[in-house]
Amino acid sequence: MILIVDSGSTKSDWIAVDKDGNRLLEKIRTKGLNPAILPEKKLKKIIKKSKDLKENRNIVTNVFFYGAGCGTPKANALLKGVLQDVFVNAAIEVSEDTMAAVFSTINHPKEAAVVCILGTGSNCSYYDGEKVHQKVKSLGYSIMDDASGNYYGKQLIRDYYFNQMPENVKIAFETKFNVEDDYIKYNLYKQPNPNAYLASFAEFMFLHKDSEYTIELIKRGIRLFTKTMIMQYKEELKTVPVHFAGSIAFFSQKEIKEVGEEMGFTVGNFERRPIEGLVSFHIKNL
């Protein structure tokens, strides 16, 4: 059994296949496994909570894991050790989520492109057809992650509290969410995964895209992400497209295309869930 995993900070999708690519189990979903945020004990607990993973762990031969927070050697080694302890007979490969985005969006294995992730977090890299190049090292959700789910969640809460929302949007927001200050502070400062908590607010934008406020909020984040991240690759952008992976990007396609035209980059493909493209990639390369 081969396990292919695409993990963000919020959730992890697991697909089990045989060496011919045949699905062996229904797609498994667990909580996100971000080794930059969660300790070893918590990572193991999340994996073992899945009945399917627990029951089949001894017959897994390979684990190909792509995840948020796996870009540094220390975090990568931590998660690899956790996976090896659970799947004792498997060969383990851990890569940052950037590579999942690359393999799921490019049109062919040697295509050069700028590839962006807009999900719970955000990132942007240049793939030259063989290797990934990053000009900005991520410092995480509290400082970076422009145009991500946690970025938009933060902006929505700020706009609500600073009275920057139109009245009808504000009423809808406080109807959908618990906006008591103590509750928000408890989740931000005393609960694990505050980035995922912030990202949980982002869906609100896509349910209220009839509002000019919401559309401008989305575009403002994309413009900021373009300025801070995409434009790091000004020379490359002259000849390659910009592909996007992640739910925030998928539901913001119209706004991204408009900002692309406005700020001078060519928008390529969108992939909401990179894991589907990873299955065929790994079966071909076993």
Partnered with residue 133 across adjacent β-strands are: 126
Strands of the chain, DSSP E: 2-7, 11-17, 28-31, 62-67, 91-96, 113-118, 122-127, 132-133, 242-245, 267-271
| CB of 26 closer than 8 Å to CB of 36 | no
Q: What is the pLDDT of residue 56?
A: 96
Among 107, 108, 126, smallest CA distance to 116 is for 126
Q: Which residues of 67-90 are buried (b: 16+ CB within 10 A; e: fewer)?
A: bbbbbeeebbebbbbbbeebbeeb
| Residue 13 in this model has a pLDDT that exceeds 80 | yes
Q: What is the pLDDT of residue 216?
A: 97
Three-point CA angle 252, 253, 259, nearest 5°:
90
d(CA 220, CA 233): 20
Q: What is the dihedral of CA 141, 196, 123, 79, to 10 degrees?
A: 100
**pLDDT tens track for 199-247:** 999 999 999 999 999 999 999 999 999 999 999 999 999 999 999 999 9
- The tokens of 26 are what? 């229904």
- The tokens of 234 are what? 């000004």
Q: What is the pLDDT of residue 108?
A: 85
Q: What is the pLDDT of residue 10?
A: 81
Q: What is the pLDDT of residue 21?
A: 86
d(CA 81, CA 153): 33
d(CA 86, CA 134): 31
pLDDT tier for residue 76 given thresholds of 50, 70 and 90? very high
Q: What is the pLDDT of residue 90?
A: 97
Interval 3-17 mean pLDDT: 91
d(CA 45, CA 63): 18
| Residue 286 in this model has a pLDDT that exceeds 80 | no
| pTM score | 0.79
**pLDDT tens track for 88-110:** 999 999 998 888 899 889 988 88
Q: What is the pLDDT of residue 206?
A: 96
d(CA 259, CA 252): 11
**pLDDT tens track for 112-163:** 999 999 998 999 999 999 999 999 988 888 899 999 999 999 999 999 999 9
**pLDDT tens track for 32-70:** 999 998 999 999 999 999 999 999 999 999 999 999 889
- Class level of CATH domain 2-97+275-284: alpha beta
Burial of 191 (0-12, 13-18, 19+ CB in 10 A): exposed
Q: Return the biggest CA–CA distance within the chain.
A: 58
